[in-house]
Structure 1
Amino acid sequence: MVSEAKKCRDCGLIKPAGEFWKRKASKDGLSLYCKECFGLRNSASYRSKQAEAGKQARPYRRHSAVPEGMKYCPQCKETKPLDAFGRNRSTSGGRAAYCKPCHNAAMAAIKARRHGSERGYLLKLRYGLTEAEIKALGARQGGVCVICLREPAAHVDHDHVTGLFRGLLCFGCNGGLGQFEDDIWRLGEAADYLEGRSSFARRMILEFGEATFDGRSRRAEERRLGVRANRKGTSRHYHLRHRYGITEDEARALADVQGGLCAICCDRPAEHVDHCHSTEVVRGVLCTGCNSGMGQLRDDPAVLRRAAAYLERTLITEVPIADGATRLSFTHPDVDPTTVPLNGWAKYREQDAGYRKAVRDMAELVERVPWTEFAWVEGPALETC
């Protein structure tokens, strides 16, 4: 039968039975030493064996000395509240072994040792590529974003459906693709919208006589003539008058011409007034995605069409070079990207823009040719050719 209290042989103190481990060989069912002294004996034995083996163990620490609601971190050797430790369902206490700062530092050290850096770890986790491979791919691109040909290629782009790596882009082009939801059709429509080729531009001409609305010039003319604008309205009215030179009713009329939907995608509510940043003319009312996406792709039709070709996997091609190797090509006319410095793409960018505009003009010309102007060849005549 286990007694209620017992005297420890080492410290000589009488302690409750709960301070002793159970021991079947004892008459009272308790060990000869209290838990604290028992731990000191085991610690001394373990450390003497480690010293004989030429190893040095950390100083002994009694686990039961940690107060309730606290936990000891063996890394920083401090006792902290439980909230200072992250959750870990695999442990008995449900908390990580190290406190949060020590855990983060330990994980960073492991990632640096195994993968070179935090970025190297994420690249391998998300795309299955190492930092060295990404650096080599960037060198093949000439270090430039393959879409805009303006900024350094610093962001890894991937297909959100397959998860496969697609290329290295700048921050703006990578974000612009995301705003357009990798939709090739929307990118093409946005380019037509900027060039006044879209069906919305034709509706604007029918409704207002021109494809854009020059509200700021009209406001300047009103000021010159001393005409006072309506001073009664909402905060949106004053914002529109100050920024675009149009009234809230005019903005609503623009949205009505579009049927209340975005002038580009025709799928989402028209919420944001869009204007040209160089001429200040109002072009239409867009949804958030199309408005932000065009801004990130620099309101440039050529860049938008390059982005569409990039998603179609027709922008980047492999060109054979000596010894059976290949290099990348992503401009018309073709140029080796490794031979062009980052600030030397202006000429090639303009040539590529001219090429893509000519291709679009030709496609528009073909669309406008009446069917009656085509010379149809009958079946029998075709067989004799």
Structure 2
Amino acid sequence: MARTPKPVIGVTAAVAGVGESEFGRSVDRPLDRLVIDACRAALADAGLAASDVDGVVATAPWPGPDTVSQALGIQRDHTASPGIPAGAGPVAAIEAARLAVESGRASAVLVYYGYAGSKPGGPYAFHAHDPVKASLEMPFGWYGQPVYFAAWAQRYLHTYSVSPDELGSIAIANRKWAQLTPGAQRAKPLSAQDYLASPMIASPLRAADCCLITDGAGAVVVTTTDRARDLRTPPVLVAGSSTVTFGPAMTSYFTQAPDLCSFGSSRSGPRAFAEAGLRPADIDVAEIYDCFSISQAIQLEDLGFCDRGGAFGFTADGNTEPGGALPVNTHGGHLAYAYIPGIVHVIEAVRQLRGERGAAQVPDARTALVAALAGGEHSTLILTEDR
């Protein structure tokens, strides 16, 4: 029986490199090439060669770690996968990489995620492959992510007596960040009037409340803090992390969850904060999974950044936009920057803590939170600068 390595006392993990591929809607390149491009960019950012990497964490079935490792020339001693889809998968993958480094299983781990949202079937195809949904939900109109999250939004409006017209504040605030971010897919200014003119997709969610369609990839290199300090870019420390499973399986989560006003962030958030020794008030910048505006709102509340039922008002008061008390989705998020689920939020948090974001830089950013969901699974990651 193989012996399980014990944690290496005093070893902590840090993000040493991040990278993105070309991205956009209908990018004319295969997904595996986009993933390889992102991985090479992350290695170059860290100042590492493929031969310096001995661990790979894959967050999607294709391309697999064997394909990626062979293309890059990585000799793996450690391979892992969180087995979690959507946004929480890439964030959970950072936690898996962290544990590999801190336990001594690997010295440098490459995490990658690619997404081809504009290909035939797009994001709808994910749920269409589920036989339970195809048999019991889709025939009755439960088809597609906008419909799932519209039900959550309707419940939220009813529970907290929020007007549908008030939902626009999150889309408007995220768009302000996209205007400061080169390459953002949706950088056109969005006013309150523009929001109300946005087509209704699944009541009460309008087109402006829905994430982008994106083809692209992102990658992150995780290594020990000591090693990261000798590399090309300032290390960003992994201070706390938590991944939880909460409620029914993905098959029925969005239609039959026991509470349509709370995600697993109500559990993963407190655990990550406790491990990091921080509170919500200590966070300088937050990157929160915004497949739809309602998902960002609920997580803001679950994570303790505002009161229950107060997320849209909190945002409408300017707290999350440039210059606000809690900058959120400082690249524009999935609503306006790119929908490469979860991983682009990790990359943005790292860049903020390095002070690399130019016009969108949050002054004196020292702590960052990344949160992402995948149905009943949720991951929260807390990053800090190297003090």
User: Which bracket does the TM-score occupy, shorter chain normalised?
Assistant: under 0.3
Q: Higher helix share goes to which structure?
A: 1
Between structure 1 and structure 2, the one with the greater Rg is: 1
Relative to the length of structure 2, the TM-score reads: 0.20
Relative to the length of structure 1, the TM-score reads: 0.20
